[in-house]
Chains A and B, each alone.
Chain A
């Protein structure tokens, strides 16, 4: 069985679980993904999401044609536990997951633009009142003549978000293979409509 899928984050909703508790879940449209290529080391390349022909380069179109498959927007590799059971061109559905599984979710976080240190690194900031003029500034960034430079890796303002974020353990609440939907407990990175990878962990 393939150990993961590419999906699209639909959004969040509240459901009641079997024990009657209300849980906030993120609904992800996981798959169907097509196997494009089998790789060494028991891995497969999966494709997901439709795309216009003219947006795919000719070399990549050839790659898809070799698999006898349609064109896909996203290509990602996933591990397979038994490579012989998977064939090129095969569709992988959301039924590889079960309710109760713990999965790893990778998404692209929402971009925050150029962010200050309070937002980006959770600095405390300065005093708000009583004549303070240091509200959200970073403060001292180092020493004096020795070392007379700012150390690399110093936490400073800059671009925040828009990067790949992995959530290591997310509980699967419900799976609906006929609708390709997976319900994950709690939030996952990225905006609605974003591409996410779900891997078994």
Chain B
């Protein structure tokens, strides 16, 4: 069992910020198109996280042209160039699935105070 844990730990990235549910983040994703490589930014609200060492993933939701878009990113993937935290929201649950039913002003979150309680 130890060998497997060891192998998985090698893939954990240490350069990522401390992301929490309720944060608004910008994910810079590497996109390979044939020979060329470019970076695409996906900005949205973290509505869920699955914390599993190197398999950790985040679900990011944004509303694009009136349509809700959700993307799940494997956090430790080398395809992720970097992640920026835009805003930290104060939330009281681990999964913000209720946000999907809300629109506009109702879908806002209060900002979290910089010092976590």
Contacts and interface: CB of A to CB of B under 8 A. Distances in A.
Asked if A pairs with B, the answer is yes
Interface of A: 10-16, 19-20, 22, 27, 29, 179, 181
Nearest to A176: B7
A10 B55 CA distance: 19
A181 B3 contact: yes
Given A14-B54, A14-B55, A20 B77 contact: yes
A102 B108 CA distance: 52
A181 B30 CA distance: 30
B11 A27 contact: no
A15 B7 contact: yes
Contacts of A181: 3
Contact of A20 (B1, B3, B79): B79
Contact of B4 (A11, A20, A179): A11
B interface, over-half SS: mixed
B3 A10 contact: yes
Contacts of B1: 11
Interface residues of B, number: 15
Nearest to B54: A14
A179 B3 CA distance: 10
Contact of B77 (A10, A11, A13, A22): A22
Nearest to B80: A20
A11 B6 CA distance: 12
B4 A13 contact: yes
B11 A15 contact: yes
Contact of A16 (B4, B11, B30): B11
A107 B8 CA distance: 24
A90 B80 CA distance: 45
Given A13-B7, A27-B3, 12 more contacts: A10-B3, A10-B4, A11-B3, A11-B4, A13-B4, A14-B8, A15-B7, A20-B30, A20-B77, A20-B79, A22-B55, A22-B77
Nearest to B74: A22
A45 B77 CA distance: 42
Contacts of B74: 22
A27 B79 contact: no
Given A11-B1, A27-B3, A181-B3, A16 B8 contact: no
Contacts of B3: 10-11, 27, 29, 179, 181
Contacts of B77: 16, 20, 22
Given A14-B55, A15-B11, A20-B30, A27 B76 contact: no
